[in-house]
Amino acid sequence: MALRITIDIFSGRPNPVIDVSGREEREILARVRPGARLKAEEMGAPEHVLGYRGLIIEQTGSVTRGLPKRFRVAAGSVYGQKLAHNIADPSFERNFARTPGLAGRVQGIAEFSEILEEEIERLHEIRRHYRHHRHHWPEKEHCHCAPLYEPNWWNDAGQKQFHNNCYNYATNYRTDTFAQPGRANGAMYTALDCASVNGLRQRSYSPGVPTLRGK
């Protein structure tokens, strides 16, 4: 038995993944077991939120009773097939983030535990102020050259959804590589900051310079 935990926090870059087993796995499954069911007016799975959207937990071995093979824990609740419940230990995510918590094993991202803890608190704040209501968008004539709106094609809970990003979706181009502006033409940004990305945007519109196509 083992768990693969994806920290769903990035949009354009691959998310950190941590594998646990043994005692750690048993403790985690006990802490995230479903409690009281969420009320209809409470926020559902926060997949629409930018930034931290929860921990995606996959049981890679045998499946524990009461939990599906793959589920999401976010802002003190668990979501999955026939699941929208509070978890047994609402402090689980905060403890996960704090050093020497499991998030401390993520390498290559400076102060990641502190960033994750701040993002977890932000998601809790979003949930506290959430009010369920329907939006009535005004009808507008759509662009006839726009691609078809096919969210189910992208949101397949598999290869397409978890190996492509917002840039792939915006350009309507599947690469399964977390596409980045300019990478296909050897002109990718050198640092993830405003100056580098803005310079890439300016160069992409200069005569004779390749355009921003992801690959």
Which of these, 7, 161, 31, 60, lies nearest to 70 by C-alpha position? 60
Choose the final residue of a domain: 64, 96, 128: 128
Range of the domain at 37: 2-128
Q: Does residue 141 sit within a domain?
A: no
Whether residue 72 is found in the same domain as residue 118? yes
Q: Does residue 165 sit within a domain?
A: yes
Whether residue 13 is found in the same domain as residue 59? yes
Whether residue 6 is found in the same domain as residue 100? yes
Residues 41 and 88: beta-carbon distance below 8 Å: no
Q: Could you tell me the two tokens for 14?
A: 């691959």
Whether residue 26 is found in the same domain as residue 111? yes
Q: Does residue 134 sit within a domain?
A: no
More confident residue, 115 or 147: 115
Whether residue 87 is found in the same domain as residue 118? yes
Instruction: List the 55-59 sheet strands across, edge first.
Output: 17-21, 2-7, 55-59, 70-74, 77-80, 83-87, 34-37
Residues 10 and 13: their CA atoms lie apart, in Å, by 6
Residues 103 and 20: beta-carbon distance below 8 Å: no
Q: Does residue 143 sit within a domain?
A: no
Whether residue 17 is found in the same domain as residue 100? yes
Residues 179 and 188: their CA atoms lie apart, in Å, by 10
214 confidence band (pLDDT: 50, 70, 90): very low
Choose the final residue of a domain: 70, 97, 128: 128
Q: Does residue 144 sit within a domain?
A: no
Q: Lowest mean pLDDT: which of 29-33, 165-169, 204-208?
A: 204-208
Choose the final residue of a domain: 128, 162, 186: 128
146 confidence band (pLDDT: 50, 70, 90): confident
Residues near 52 by Cβ (< 8 Å), separated by ≥ 6?
A: 7, 8, 9, 116, 119, 120, 122, 123
Q: Does residue 210 sit within a domain?
A: no
Q: Does residue 213 sit within a domain?
A: no
Instruction: Determine the residue type at 143.
Output: C
Q: Does residue 169 sit within a domain?
A: yes
Whether residue 124 is found in the same domain as residue 156? no
Domain count along the chain: 2
Whether residue 118 is found in the same domain as residue 162? no
> For the chain, first and last CA: distance in Å?
36
Whether residue 15 is found in the same domain as residue 56? yes
Whether residue 110 is found in the same domain as residue 191? no
pLDDT tens digits along 147-196 = 788 888 888 888 898 889 888 888 888 999 888 888 888 888 877 777 77
pLDDT tens digits along 39-74 = 988 888 898 888 999 999 999 988 988 999 999 999
Whether residue 48 is found in the same domain as residue 112? yes
Whether pTM > 0.75 for this model: the answer is no
